[in-house]
C-alpha cells in the first residue's frame, strides 16, 4: 500500500490521476498490534440505504466472512447515506458500518483531493481504534485511493477489489468517450491503485486479463466471483401474478436488474418482435428501472408488440422471488462493449440458483458463468434472430428447461454460494500480508 514520492498534503485532481497526491494525517501512528481477523472494508455505499449489485455483494461477503470466523467492519464514503455529520457505527446484520460526513463534498474534478483527504481523515480514527489487520477497498479509485493512504500511514496491508471497469461502464452508457482526456485519467488512476495495492481481487478471468493488460502483475490478482445465497426451496408458481400482468398462458422470458444501455435489452425486445410474427404465446417481462427504460418502452410501441412485453419498474428485492415463480427463462443480452465482455454480472447466478434456464450472450464474461446446453444457453451477442430461435426452442421443450435449470442450480450450490467464494479471500489476504512484510523489510 506504499507509493514513491514525498508527501504532498495539497494538490490538484491531476495529482490524484497521476498517483502523486498524498494525504497527511497528523497524529496518526502505525498500528502496532493489529487484530488478526479484523478486516476494514472501504465501500462506496451499502445496504440498507442503497440496493444494487454492488451493495448486495458487499453485504453477502461481509456476512460470509463473519460465518468463516473473520471480524469484518465497514466504512462507507463521505456523505453516504446523505448525512451531515459522522454518525455510527450503524449495525447492519450484526456488522458495524461507520458513516462519514460530507455530502457537500464533490468527489469529482477539482474537489477530488479534498474528497480523498476528508475520506482518509475521517476514517483515520476508526482505523486507530479498530486496529484491523487488512484494509480492503472495493471499486472504484475514490475508495481505493484513500484506503491506500490510510494503509500507508498506519502501515497495514491493503487489498483492492476491482469489481468493474467503471470508466468502461460510462463509455458503454454514452457518458464518456475513450478519446476524452478524462478516460485516460481514470484508467491511469485505477491502474495506479491496483498496482499499489498489496493484492488485488476481481470477479473473473476476463477481468483479471484486462487488469494484467493494464500492467497489474498477474500473481497478485485473486478471483472471488459473484455468488448467491442458495434458496432453501424453489419459488412456487404464481398464477395470480400472471393474471395481474396479463401473461396467463404465455411463456415468460424475464430480465431482472438495472435497465441501462449496457444491458442491450433492445435485443430482447427485437427477438420478441420476431417471435410475435409467428406466435403469441411468448412474452418478455422486464423487471427493474433505469436510464434505458423509456427508450425501450418507445421501441415496444414502435414495433407494435405491447401485448408481448411488460415493464414492472423497480421491484423490492424481497418480491423478486415471486417473479421467478412465473418465469420460464431468464435473458442476459449484454453486447460487445468491453465492460460487458470482462465483468461478470450477479443476476444470472440468482436465476440459476432458482433453477431457471438462462439464455446469455456468448461473450467472455458470460462464458465463465454458463456452459452451453449444460447449465444454460449461449447465444451470439447482439443477434435478435439467434436469440428468438433459442427462446422458441425453450418455449417448446419443458423437459429441456427443467434439465437446464436443475443442472444450473446444482452447479451454483456447489461452486457459487457466498460462503464458498468468500473463502477465496484467504489466499488474497495471505498474499497481501506477505507482500506488505517484504516491502516494509525493504523500506523500513
Q: What does the domain layout of the chain look like in residue ranges?
A: 13-227+420-442, 239-416
Average pLDDT over residues 408-421: 97
Look up the CATH number of domain 239-416: 3.40.50.2000
Cell of 179: 478519446
Q: What is the pLDDT of residue 216?
A: 99
Average pLDDT over residues 282-305: 98
CATH number belonging to the domain at 13-227+420-442, selected among 3.40.1080.10, 3.40.50.2020, 3.40.50.2000, 3.30.2020.30 = 3.40.50.2000
Confidence band for 6, pLDDT divided at 50, 70 and 90: very low
Confidence band for 52, pLDDT divided at 50, 70 and 90: confident
Confidence band for 4, pLDDT divided at 50, 70 and 90: very low
Average pLDDT over residues 217-246: 96
Q: Which of 67-81, 105-119, 168-182, 245-259 bottoms out in mean pLDDT, i.e. has the lowest?
A: 105-119
Q: What is the pLDDT of residue 1?
A: 54
Report CA 310 to chain centroid distance, whole Å. Answer: 26
CB of 204 within 8 A of CB of 368?
yes
Average pLDDT over residues 395-402: 99
Contacts of 367 (CB under 8 A, 6+ apart): 378
Residue 366 has pLDDT above 60, yes or no: yes
Residue 255 CB burial class (10 angstroms; 0-12, 13-18, ≥19): buried
- Please give the backbone phi and psi of residue 70, each rounded to the nearest 5 degrees, phi first: -80, 170
Cα–Cα distance for residue pair 227/56, rounded to 1 Å: 10
Confidence band for 9, pLDDT divided at 50, 70 and 90: very low
Cα–Cα distance for residue pair 185/326, rounded to 1 Å: 46
Task: Judge if 13-227+420-442 and 239-416 fold alike in CATH terms.
Answer: yes
Residues 175-209: tens digit of each pLDDT? 999 999 999 999 999 999 999 999 999 999 999 99
Amino acid at each position: 500500500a506504499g507509493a514513491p514520492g514525498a508527501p504532498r498534503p495539497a494538490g490538484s485532481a491531476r495529482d490524484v490521476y497521476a498517483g502523486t497526491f498524498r494525504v497527511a494525517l497528523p497524529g496518526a501512528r502505525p498500528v502496532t498490534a493489529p487484530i488478526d481477523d479484523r478486516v476494514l472494508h472501504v465501500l462506496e455505499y451499502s445496504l440498507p440505504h442503497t440496493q444494487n449489485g454492488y451493495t448486495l455483494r458487499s453485504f453477502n461477503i461481509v456476512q460470509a466472512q463473519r460465518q468463516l470466523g473473520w471480524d469484518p467492519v465497514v466504512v462507507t464514503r463521505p456523505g453516504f447515506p446523505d448525512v451531515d455529520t459522522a454518525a455510527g457505527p450503524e449495525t447492519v446484520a450484526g456488522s458495524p458500518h461507520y458513516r462519514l460526513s460530507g455530502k457537500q463534498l464533490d468527489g469529482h474534478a477539482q474537489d477530488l483531493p479534498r474528497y480523498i483527504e476528508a475520506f482518509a481523515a475521517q476514517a483515520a480514527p476508526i482505523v486507530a481504534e479498530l486496529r484491523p489487520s487488512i484494509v480492503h477497498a472495493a471499486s472504484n479509485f475514490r475508495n481505493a485511493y484513500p484506503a491506500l493512504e490510510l494503509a500507508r500511514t498506519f502501515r497495514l496491508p491493503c487489498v483492492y477489489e476491482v469489481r468493474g471497469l467503471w470508466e468502461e461502464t460510462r463509455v458503454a452508457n454514452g457518458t464518456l468517450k475513450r478519446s476524452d482526456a478524462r478516460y485516460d485519467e481514470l484508467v491511469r488512476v485505477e491502474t495506479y491503485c491496483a498496482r499499489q495495492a498489496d493484492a488485488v481481487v476481481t470477479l473473473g478471468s476476463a477481468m483479471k486479463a484486462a487488469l494484467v493488460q493494464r500492467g497489474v502483475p498477474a500473481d497478485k490478482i485473486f478471483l472471488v466471483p459473484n455468488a448467491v445465497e442458495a434458496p432453501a426451496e424453489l419459488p412456487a408458481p404464481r398464477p395470480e401474478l400472471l393474471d395481474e400482468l396479463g401473461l396467463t398462458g404465455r411463456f415468460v422470458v424475464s430480465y431482472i436488474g438495472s435497465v441501462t444501455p449496457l444491458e442491450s435489452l433492445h435485443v430482447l425486445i427485437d427477438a420478441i418482435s420476431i417471435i410475435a410474427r409467428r406466435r403469441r404465446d411468448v412474452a418478455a417481462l422486464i423487471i427493474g428501472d433505469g436510464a434505458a427504460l423509456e427508450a425501450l418502452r418507445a421501441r415496444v410501441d414502435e414495433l407494435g408488440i405491447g401485448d408481448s412485453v411488460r415493464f414492472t419498474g423497480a421491484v423490492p428485492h424481497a418480491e423478486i422471488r415471486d417473479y421467478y415463480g412465473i418465469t420460464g427463462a431468464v435473458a442476459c443480452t449484454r453486447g460487445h462493449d468491453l465492460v460487458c465482455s470482462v465483468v461478470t454480472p450477479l443476476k444470472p447466478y440468482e436465476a440459476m440458483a432458482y433453477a431457471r434456464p438462462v439464455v446469455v450472450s456468448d461473450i467472455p464474461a458470460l462464458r465463465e458463468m454458463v456452459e452451453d446446453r449444460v447449465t444454460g444457453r449461449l447465444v451470439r451477442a447482439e443477434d435478435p434472430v439467434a436469440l428468438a430461435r433459442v427462446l422458441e426452442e425453450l418455449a417448446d421443450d419443458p423437459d429441456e428447461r427443467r434439465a437446464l435449470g436443475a443442472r444450473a442450480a446444482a452447479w451454483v450450490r456447489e461452486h457459487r454460494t457466498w460462503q464458498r467464494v468468500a473463502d477465496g479471500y484467504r489466499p488474497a489476504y495471505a498474499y497481501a500480508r506477505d507482500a506488505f512484510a517484504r516491502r516494509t523489510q525493504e523500506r523500513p
